[in-house]
Structure 1
């Protein structure tokens, strides 16, 4: 008897190379299998947190960027104010949800350029919250010229209407005049993403902020070049400190200013920031976050050396539990700092030369202790978790897909997924079991005590991808877990059933209340997580809020 072709149609077991019957919301992923199209808001959140630098195993950087820009534009067209609220949430969260600000600043510029009047009003309110530094301001202006400017002989120019003037003016009016002066003095000139020089004076002339007080008038006049240094010094202490710092001509003078006036490193002339003894003094005065961010610089110029005095003082600060708590250093911050420093290489600007340094072992050890100490206030969920890390070939970072922070590679999606799994294991205090999956289930080397430097040498098992396996494994082993967390690029294709079908089988046989968190390691625009399933949450990898979100999601059953 001939086989009935209708017998191949099943809502219980369907090959991942075929769309689930009746689910028109499934799309073909980059590996040829089918997953659920992320809605525009999940896609936008992935872009804001993950960015598109480096592309993925399957998709080049240019196409991935274009795809995510399209998602951003659709979000703005659908509900511009909501898009702006999401940008603000990602940009201002504590701990920070995104390791780099560029996607959020680009998205805000796009919302201003493409949004309706209501969206532009939302951008005006959000602007000083997202665009906090002169560097951010230069990004915004550069992106806006590309997205909403008018053609000119030199590329494009801004159309400085009232809405734009008011928006830019909010940067100068957000805080008390001396606080604005302090921020302005840190960087009076920056370059836009396209490489154009942008002086703060140029932005001020476009914005024309209203000077409500004599201090405002002194500040704006000084930036514009219409008020002399002496008058500005008298009105604003930050300008006095800045001018004092800028006047130094020798390292010894710079050290005296740093020690006596405790000026930030950004106030000093560029030539002084190449002097090891100047950074020797700054080790004791800069904020803890600034210290962590400048470890590579201090190593490169010779301030931090093996057995050095400055190295010892830096180590003491990095391992001060109370200071770390006050500075709200999160385990993700510490891990990212460790990976960036250990990389020994950075290129934050594609047009600049590559910067290299030889990491000092004592600093690496201190950053590991920073990581350990930063768990002090993170509470466990008291739930049993199965954590699955996708170990297929596409997670290896080969042919693209290496995740970067500040121009430094921090690892492949697999390495980062394992690091996040270690953090969850550490937080949950023994209530976590971790597995690797490709087209089979493999034992993972992850434990709560895994040394973070070990992970850099780990390689995924490779091969195809079957993301139904975590649920199949839990079903076969009859493991009663409260939550399943999957770290993946969502490029599944090799299974005989879809992950959502395997999850349904597990719920039917073992735990109907199990919740699932699908953590995307790339901004690919699709997921194994069924958007119609209230017990499934889609998140982005590198999101520092992941442990607390997982905690809350599991507790809210």
Structure 2
């Protein structure tokens, strides 16, 4: 057997069963908490298709740990998942933080409120936190605006750079029924300096009140900068001069949320916005901008955008993931939105730029350093589409395979069907189309999802994580997956894990929830990569 690089089974993470072996890996409260923070459920199914409404009943392990006096540890876990990019979705972390801030134990409550400004980086996150607080308090006969929350909200505003805060409050004014005006009023915020006081007055009283107090006053440098910025935002809001609006956008890097709806009817205004628009936002709006003729064949804006899309420095700075680019490219090829009547003809040079960016962006995938088997079930034709996307399941399976084959040195790629299994060669120089063809080269039939595990065991491959990709909503197998996995653990000495991914299905339930090493993914999205990474690193 080849060296595995795997640690021996850890007694603290395993439970002896009746037969006396220790290859059943228990799910502790901490693991359940981490699952919740990662994807909003303590269970063993990550649903990429739709996000469940977060409720207290979904966070039993969190509540249990709080009751056992582990509140500080819980808050630290929340911070870790929110700040280190471990969470597939940030909302569960914000919900968990709101729940901790309700706890009766004073040190936990204080730690939660102190973490608000660290976790809620965006005002939309802060509004979500307040809304969760409100929902959690609905059954209690008391308000939510106690001293702790007032201080946390005040600290959030006072910790911001004044000029950045001016941009924030004019870009994201309200969300989920809450506004900056509500928060400043209810928190009784006392501004830390005169520049923050100016912004507070602008939010609470409006521009006319600001003019009365500050325009003819001798102001500090910081106050003067904020005053000038807010004056520009107000000027744009009241301007019908297209040229003037464009000049202000370009000079002060204004964003579309700071403009009027009428401004966004102009393709010249869109071209001005395009220059500083974050790349992910650009990719999301390629179809709309093509339909509006902001981007035209041979146009200078199109050429500049193509150069930007392909620039390694941009891709690296914005941490673009290959799957994100594939999602954007396939949607752009589709030629119409999922809702509404917007249609467009995909521009060839943009598609070529996206193709180049796709391959370059693999440099942004950070290796886990584990051994993987990625096995693609070809028992059914991979010709359907991953729900919520324009990506075929064949392409999805291929790009998932490429991510691991290109970034993890110890990866085996398999294609399998009824009684047939073949090892595939997926090299770093292969295209997406070539990888797809490599995966579907054996005939279909019924499927047995235990075949890849058996193959690894029989061939002396010690595997940390098995990733099974399938279109098939139902699997047949000669042995239960957990039994097959336990056998591999016993022989290889690895704490092996199994991720069952149904690319088109909702809620696979073949896994055993009492074994930490089994997880299902329904559908697929960018967050699924975070889930798999956390699984590989023993975090969930």
- TM-score grouping bracket, smaller chain normalisation: 0.7 to 0.9
Structure 2 matches for 1:46-57, cutoff 5 A? 46-50=35-39
Helix, strand or coil: the match of 1:269?
coil
For normalisation by structure 1, the TM-score amounts to: 0.70
Deviations 1:404-442 (A, max 9, x none): 4xxxx365888645432221112247x533224576555
Provide the residue aligned with 1:286 in structure 2.
Answer: 277
Deviations 1:14-40 (A, max 9, x none): xxxxxx9749xxxxxxxxxxx988545
Provide the residue aligned with 1:204 in structure 2.
Answer: 184
1:224 maps onto 2:209 in alignment:
no
Provide the residue aligned with 2:218 in structure 1.
Answer: none
Contact 1:88-1:130 within 8 A present in 2 as well = yes
Residues in 2 aligned to 1:104 and 1:396: alpha-carbon distance in whole angstroms = 36
Contact 2:366-2:407 within 8 A present in 1 as well = yes
Residues in 1 aligned to 2:181 and 2:317: alpha-carbon distance in whole angstroms = 35
1:302 maps onto 2:268 in alignment:
no
Give the CA deviation at 1:300: 4.4
Structure 2 unpaired stretches of 5+: 1-15, 216-222
1:159 maps onto 2:150 in alignment:
no
Residues in 1 aligned to 2:262 and 2:285: alpha-carbon distance in whole angstroms = 16
Residues in 2 aligned to 1:463 and 1:146: alpha-carbon distance in whole angstroms = 50
2:412 to 420, 433, 436: 433
2:65 to 67, 78, 88: 78
Provide the residue aligned with 2:314 in structure 1.
Answer: 323
Provide the residue aligned with 1:177 in structure 2.
Answer: 162
1:364 to 342, 347, 351: 351
2:224 to 234, 247, 270: 234
Provide the residue aligned with 1:12 in structure 2.
Answer: none
1:468 to 445, 450, 455: 450
Return closer, same or farther for 1:167/1:467 CA change in 2, 3 Å cut-off: farther
More off after superposition, 142-151 vs 126-135: 142-151
Residues in 2 aligned to 1:389 and 1:43: alpha-carbon distance in whole angstroms = 28
Provide the residue aligned with 1:16 in structure 2.
Answer: none
Contact 1:345-1:356 within 8 A present in 2 as well = yes
Provide the residue aligned with 2:5 in structure 1.
Answer: none
Give the CA deviation at 1:201: 0.5
Structure 2 matches for 1:155-554, cutoff 5 A? 159-190=144-175, 192=176, 196=177, 198-225=178-205, 227-229=209-211, 231=214, 234=224, 236=226, 237-338=228-329, 341=332, 354=340, 356-358=342-344, 359-376=346-363, 378=365, 385-389=372-376, 404=388, 409=389, 416=396, 418-428=398-408, 432-436=411-415, 440-443=419-422, 447-448=426-427, 449-451=430-432, 466-476=448-458, 478-487=459-468, 494-506=476-488, 512-514=492-494, 516-519=496-499, 521=501, 527=511, 531=515, 542-545=527-530
Residues in 1 aligned to 2:375 and 2:256: alpha-carbon distance in whole angstroms = 43
Return closer, same or farther for 1:67/1:60 CA change in 2, 3 Å cut-off: farther
Give the CA deviation at 1:225: 0.7
More off after superposition, 252-261 vs 36-45: 36-45
Structure 1 unpaired stretches of 5+: 1-19, 24-34, 348-352
Return closer, same or farther for 1:546/1:73 CA change in 2, 3 Å cut-off: closer
Residues in 1 aligned to 2:443 and 2:184: alpha-carbon distance in whole angstroms = 55
Give the CA deviation at 1:134: 3.0
Return closer, same or farther for 1:65/1:322 CA change in 2, 3 Å cut-off: closer
Give the CA deviation at 1:547: 8.4
Give the CA deviation at 1:56: 8.7
Contact 1:38-1:527 within 8 A present in 2 as well = no
Residues in 1 aligned to 2:375 and 2:362: alpha-carbon distance in whole angstroms = 22
Give the CA deviation at 1:229: 4.1
Provide the residue aligned with 1:140 in structure 2.
Answer: 129
Return closer, same or farther for 1:344/1:134 CA change in 2, 3 Å cut-off: farther
Contact 1:255-1:278 within 8 A present in 2 as well = yes
Residues in 2 aligned to 1:254 and 1:107: alpha-carbon distance in whole angstroms = 42
Deviations 1:258-278 (A, max 9, x none): 222232333222322332211
Helix, strand or coil: the match of 1:387?
strand
For normalisation by structure 2, the TM-score amounts to: 0.72
Give the CA deviation at 1:316: 0.9
Contact 1:123-1:167 within 8 A present in 2 as well = no
Deviations 1:267-290 (A, max 9, x none): 222322332211212222234344
Contact 1:36-1:531 within 8 A present in 2 as well = yes
RMSD value, Cα: 4.8
Deviations 1:503-547 (A, max 9, x none): 4444565xx244534346578798469857xxx586977355578
Return closer, same or farther for 1:507/1:99 CA change in 2, 3 Å cut-off: closer
Contact 2:27-2:514 within 8 A present in 1 as well = no
Deviations 1:223-242 (A, max 9, x none): 11174147287351542443
Residues in 2 aligned to 1:112 and 1:101: alpha-carbon distance in whole angstroms = 17
Return closer, same or farther for 1:138/1:76 CA change in 2, 3 Å cut-off: same
